[in-house]
Amino acid sequence: MIDVKQCSLSISGITVLDDITITLNDGETIGIVGKSGSGKTSFLKTLAHRIPGYGGSISVNGAPLPLLKSALEKEVTYCGPAVPANPDESLGEFLLQGRLPYKKAFRPYTDYDRQTVDEYADILDLTRLRAMKIGAVPDGAFRRALLARAFVRGSHAVLLDNPTSDLDITSVVLLQKAIARYVIEGNRLAVVCSGDLNFVSAVADRVLVMDGGRIAESGTVDILDADLIKRYFGIDVIISRNIYNGKPQIHSFPE
Amino acid sequence: MRHPPAQRADLIRIALMSAGAVLMCAAGLYAGVTPWQAAMTMVGAAAYHVLAGLDARAPHVPCDHIQTGEAAAGGFTLIAVTLFITGNPIAIAGAVLAVMFAYQVFLRYAIAPDAKEASIVGGAVQAVIAVIIARIAWNAAPDISVPAGRALTGLVPSLPAGPAAPAVAVPVILAAYALSRLLGPELKSHAEGPEFCCLPGREYSVMTWCLIAARCALVTIALLFSGWLCGIGFSAGRLYRGTLPGIFNLMALLAFSLAMLLVSKAAGTFIAAAGAYAASYALFFLYIKTRGLRYDRRETV
């Protein structure tokens, strides 16, 4: 559980997060949506302790975030669009590094570590690419590898920042499966920040709509209706229902 | 990730390279190289091999100590201290180590070149130092040829045989090698950069400084024990695509450095150093040209 109380953040005099109070529960998948600049990524990075100097408090399972220190890696994992520095590393080794916080110094990885990597590599269709070097992996597969590495960490909460970028439709479905497995298997928490409203609708149990650094709306995915989207995104859409899961399906149309 | 079993062709290549090293050693001894000189050159090559292994996980430094300018800076320090301060080997070693550390700090934090710029910065440093040394030699005030020769082929091989120098260097090399193997996953994670390193913040900084210290120590040993004679390790190791690259790289380094030692005996120190310098850059450009990966992803954060 992540407990956020009156979290505020300013960068260069600009209010990025404004008095956010929310509790994110175990076993949930939280979707965060909002226009560009609404504070989604900043909120995610603040939860991951990537941006210090925020006001208010954030605690993970009762422990204040700044005090977690070396335990932070086991509690919260942030997966954003960054690029690793070493193109010559193999994909398999790159995935295995996700288990490093659990590895004892001077000891090899355990069978459980390798088994966890095998599972998520299989789910995200990376098994055949494990021997390939990171620099040679196609962009879509590379994106899946970043996500797999985050899941492999097995931390209490995983924070996914625009996870569907560079993913084709097949990969998006695989990602949905990976998120579901991650959350259900270990009663963990997944927070997905995305501009893809349909993806958020498909995976989230609860949706937070951010606007101007604040959480303007929150509720189940059913709050994603035409009025809300018009109000916060400024576009007209038509909402239908996914014939498989009954969740809102957003259709935009040019004027 | 577990490595595939060694292929027969790779074992043959390694055997041939090992035979080459033995042949070069024998030829050198026949040509007048003393066992002490050959042994100390091999110690320098071993230090360089461990250094190449460390830097194989740090692609921001794709070039060796000649191309980064460290060899030039270390050699200049040796010459300057010998000419103007003292000929005491311990003092010279200390000065070279200190300069290597200062140079690393300068390179990483003041210049902070990216992968392409590292060799360009090194070239500029070499040019500046070459001008300074040429100026000193032009004035012909103190005789520069002896310390220059030591800078190029190693100080320790020119000293009387004794256990002190290898007794210090060999444990450092072995310790660095052992730690690099035992902490391999941590080093690989560190090489991915702070955004992806799975070590917490403070540990990342500590590891960075430990790597700087290890690099400085190993470069100092390589320079003092074999001078410029073994600068092919990085590119040779990365060009080799077979299994057991570590063993192949070590044998290649030993063979090359002993070959250069033989050349220094037959044709002179400066010819050998020039040959090693040319080989270093030739392999470097070959590696840059033929490497399969051009990492064109850019950070979007």
- The stretches of chain B forming alpha helices (DSSP H) are 8-31, 35-55, 70-84, 89-105, 115-139, 145-153, 164-182, 184-191, 201-226, 233-239, 245-267, 269-290
Range A11-15 average pLDDT:
87
The answer to whether the CB of B301 falls within 8 A of the CB of A82 is yes
φ/ψ of residue B48, rounded to 5: -65, -35
**Cβ within 8 Å of residue A127, ≥6 positions away:** A118, A121
pLDDT of residue B6: 62
CA distance B56 to B67: 15
Q: What is the mean pLDDT of residues B15-30?
A: 92
Would you state the pLDDT for residue B301? Answer: 32
Rounded CA gap, B230 and B257, in Å? Answer: 5
In a domain? residue B101: yes
Q: Is residue B1 part of a domain?
A: no
Interchain proximity A85–B298, CB inside 8 Å? no
Q: Tell me if B67 is assigned to some domain.
A: yes
Residue B73 main-chain phi, psi, to 5 deg: -65, -40
**Three-state DSSP class for B219?**
helix
| A85-89, B106-110, B232-236: segment of lowest average pLDDT | B232-236
B22: in domain: no
* Residues in A touching B192 (Cβ below 8 Å): 84-86, 89, 94, 97
Summarize pLDDT for A126-172 with one digit per residue, the tens.
999 998 888 888 888 999 999 999 999 999 999 999 999 889 999 99
pLDDT tens-digit profile of A15-64? 899 999 999 999 999 999 999 989 999 999 999 988 888 889 999 988 88
What is the Cα gyration radius of chain B? 19
Q: What is the pLDDT of residue B201?
A: 65
Full domain range(s) for residue B88: 33-290
pLDDT for res A239: 93
In percent, the amount of chain A with pLDDT more than 90 equals 68
Q: State mean pLDDT over B120-133.
A: 88
pLDDT at B29 over 80: yes
Candidates B190, B205, B295, B299: best to mutate against A (most CBs of A within 10 A) is: B295
| Count of CB atoms situated within 10 Å of the CB of A209 | 24
The average confidence (pLDDT) of chain B is 83
Share of chain B above pLDDT 70, in %: 84
Distances (CA, A) of B7 to A136, A168, B18: 24, 38, 17
* Domains in chain B, number: 1
Q: What is the pLDDT of residue B22?
A: 93
- A14 in contact with chain B, both atoms CB, cutoff 8 A: no
Are B188 and A106 within 8 A, CB to CB?
no
ipTM over 0.85: no
CA–CA distance, B225 with B159 (Å, rounded to integer): 10
The pLDDT, as a whole number, for residue B244 is 76
What pLDDT score does B299 carry? 41
For B161-201, the pLDDT digits (tens) are 889 999 999 999 999 999 988 888 888 888 888 777 777 66
The one-letter amino acid code at A61 reads N
**What's the pLDDT tens digit per position in A200-226?**
999 999 999 999 999 999 999 999 999
Does B4 map to a domain? no
Enumerate the β-bridge partners of residue A128: none
pLDDT 10s digits, B234-290: 666 666 667 777 888 888 889 999 999 999 989 988 899 888 888 888 887 877 776
Residue in B192, B298, B300 nearest the CB of A86: B192
In a domain, B295, yes or no: no
Q: Are B237 and B54 in contact (CB under 8 A)?
A: no
Q: Is the dihedral of CA A40, A45, A49, A52 positive or negative?
A: negative
* Residue in A82, A93, A135 closest to B196 by CB: A82
What are the b/e assignments for A69-83, b being 16+ CB within 10 Å?
A: eeebbebbbbbbbbb
Examine residue B160 and state whether it is found in any structural domain, yes or no. yes
Residue B301 lies in a domain: no
Are the Cβ atoms of B188 and A131 closer than 8 angstroms? no
In angstroms, the separation between the Cα of residue A86 and the nearest Cα of chain B is: 5
The pTM of this model reads 0.83
Report the pLDDT value the prediction gives residue B295, as an integer from 0 to 100. Answer: 54
CB atoms within 10 A of CB B226: 31
- d(CA B149, CA B158) in angstroms, rounded, equals 9
Average pLDDT over residues A74-80: 90
Q: What is the CATH number of the domain that holds B105?
A: 1.10.3470.10
Give residue B11's pLDDT: 86
CB count within 10 Å of CB B174 equals: 12
pLDDT category at B56 given cuts 50, 70, 90 is low
Contacts of B195 in chain A (CB under 8 A): 82, 84
What pLDDT sits at residue B106?
Answer: 87
Average pLDDT, chain A: 91
- Beta bridge partners, A250, equal A239
Residue B300: its pLDDT value, please? 36
Residue among A188, A194, A149, A135 nearest A167 (CA): A194
